[in-house]
Chains A and B, each alone.
Chain A
Amino acid sequence: MTGPQVVPSATTMLRTQSAPRRGMPVLLRRLMPLIVVAVVLVLTYVWVSSLDLDSIEQRTLNADYITARIGEHLVLSIIASVLVAVLAIPAGIAVSRSRSKVFRGVVIGIANIGQATPAIGVVILLAIVWQTGFTTALLALVIYSFLPVLQNTIAGLAQVDPSIRESARGMGMTPSQVLRRVELPLASPVILAGLRTALVFAVGVATVATFINAGGLGDMIINGLKLQRYPVLVVGAILVASIAVLIDWAAGVVEDIVRPKGL
């Protein structure tokens, strides 16, 4: 599955680059993506309002249509991400715990192949073999987003200092207590980063879900292209990009809130 695995996104960049110093105040930096997106959306709206829309464009560029598409897009992305979290994190824990080198080797092998697989390929293959529609798109999203979360869970757990684990056991904690109270909290920044990546992937792949009749904002983009109606195309693209950036930003905020203090 192509895509950066532990690439920090916009807001992580902002956070890691700063200790509050001269320059922009921290709050402004934190809100920057929000502000930029808001400005872009406002400009787009103003631009569209100034246009003379023909009937085709009017059918697409109205509140009902747009809201419906956004809804489909978000539902798809969020359900997929939740499913991924529920499936991939336990899987990651299982792989980390496993002593079998063969098992780990197989998982890593699958991961490498997965990294190389194009999302569009997965989507279309599933559609051919099974059926088109929402569920297939959901499945494709889950498959595609599974890897980053799996890999990050494994990596996050691996980077927990073994001596911390040892001292926890030494205090009498059971393995599952160590997992719940020590390892997972310490691994959470990396795991959350993976979830965040998965979420952004989900939004991205949901865009091509349109090819298999799963709805979403991709519809606007495709229709705009097919019918050569650039306003429709541009609005669809900008909306999708804005949603992606906003969701990434929101995920970053959640990441900051959930992160254990002291890390």
Chain B
Amino acid sequence: MATKATVSLIPGTGLNDETGALLTGFNWEDLMAFLTRRADDILELTRDHLVVVVVSVVLAAIIGIGLGILVRNRRIARTTVLTAAAVAITIPSLALLALLSPVLGLGWLPTVVALVFYSLLPVVRNTVVGLREVPVSVLESARGMGLGPTRILFTVQLPIAWPVIMTGIRVAAQLTVGIAAIAAYVAGPGLGEYIFKGLSSLGSKNALNYALTGTVAVIILALVLDGILVLVARLTTSRGLRA
């Protein structure tokens, strides 16, 4: 496990006595004991992390897909929404969380708001692109058969755009899992707590255990969540659309 942050990444530079001590001080049994003792804690944090991510992504999906549908044919509105979302994503997460804290305080609320904010760009952009990429011939034949615009949107365009939209949701989920870790600094829920505990207990024996556990748990969570979303995407996409 220690391979993540050791010699291979820092070839021959600056490994000082301190590092050496930490490295030799680190061992498997120690980590295992740490994990066993805190199993409940870790699971609870993981659950919180997952919940805050899912809530945010679901909200972002609803808002984002809705926005995407609304602006898909209106150039100015579309450009405005997409640009705003793109700017939002450029803002460093710590800054956004900090800006929200005077208004929304600390904890779950500003975290969810910030996460939804960041998730909007991938979802809206992919919704717009997906809807606009439906082949013109399909739309024309649909119209020629007498389907009205709303029916076309829901029975033709959205299903065909769905794989692209799901990709946007996956990107949003990955984004969110990482940013939620930072949100721990403003008392946000989740595994970021352990990562920051690692920081605050710097120099102590458990610092590495805390930070490592937090980071690795986040990685595993992100990968598992992505896997689940891939499965969901596959199950909800028509077999006729798979390339």
**Contact flag (A, B; Cβ within 8 A):** yes
Q: Enumerate chain A interface residues (CB-CB to B < 8 A).
A: 1-4, 7-10, 12-14, 17-18, 21, 23, 32-33, 36, 112-113, 115-122, 124-132, 135, 139, 143, 200, 203-205, 207-208, 211-212, 218, 221, 224-225, 230, 233-234, 236-238, 240-241, 244-245, 248
Instruction: Mark contacts of B174-208 with chain A using CB atoms, 8 A cut-off: 1 yes-contact digit, 0 otherwise.
Output: 11111101100110000010011011001000011
A-B contact pairs, 6 of them (CB 8 A): A32-B83, A118-B195, A119-B178, A124-B196, A205-B92, A207-B94
Residue in A9, A113, A120, A230 whose beta carbon sits within 8 Å of that of B219 in the complex: A113
Tell me which of B5, B176, B179 has the highest count of chain A C-beta atoms within 10 A of its own C-beta.
B5
Q: Mark B136-148, 1 if CB is under 8 A from A, else 0.
A: 0000000000000
With A120-B195, A128-B22, A129-B6 as known contacts, state yes or no: A204 contacts B98, CB within 8 Å.
Answer: no
A80 → B minimal CB distance (Å): 14
Give the number of residue pairs across the A-B interface with Cβ within 8 Å. 193
B121 A117 Cβ-Cβ under 8 A: no
- B: contact size bracket: 35 or more
- Grouping DSSP codes into helix (H, G, I), strand (E, B) and loop, the A interface class, with mixed when no group exceeds half, is helix
| Contact A17/B122 with A120-B195, A237-B96, A240-B92 known, Cβ cut-off 8 Å | no
Q: Are A120 and B90 in contact (CB under 8 A)?
A: no
Across the interface, do B177 and A118 meet the contact criterion of CB distance under 8 Å?
yes
CA distance A143 to B75 in the complex (A): 38
Residues of chain B having any CB pair with chain A under 8 Å: 4-6, 9-10, 14-16, 18-19, 22-23, 75-76, 78-79, 82-83, 86-87, 89-96, 98-99, 101-102, 121-122, 125, 171, 174-179, 181-182, 185-186, 192, 195-196, 198-199, 202, 207-208, 211-212, 214-215, 218-219, 222-223, 226
Report chain A residues within 8 Å CB of B93.
204, 207
- A116-B219 CB under 8 A given contacts A4-B121, A236-B95, A241-B90: yes
Docked CA distance A100–B202 (Å): 42
- A131 / chain B contacts, CB cutoff of 8 Å: 14, 16, 18-19
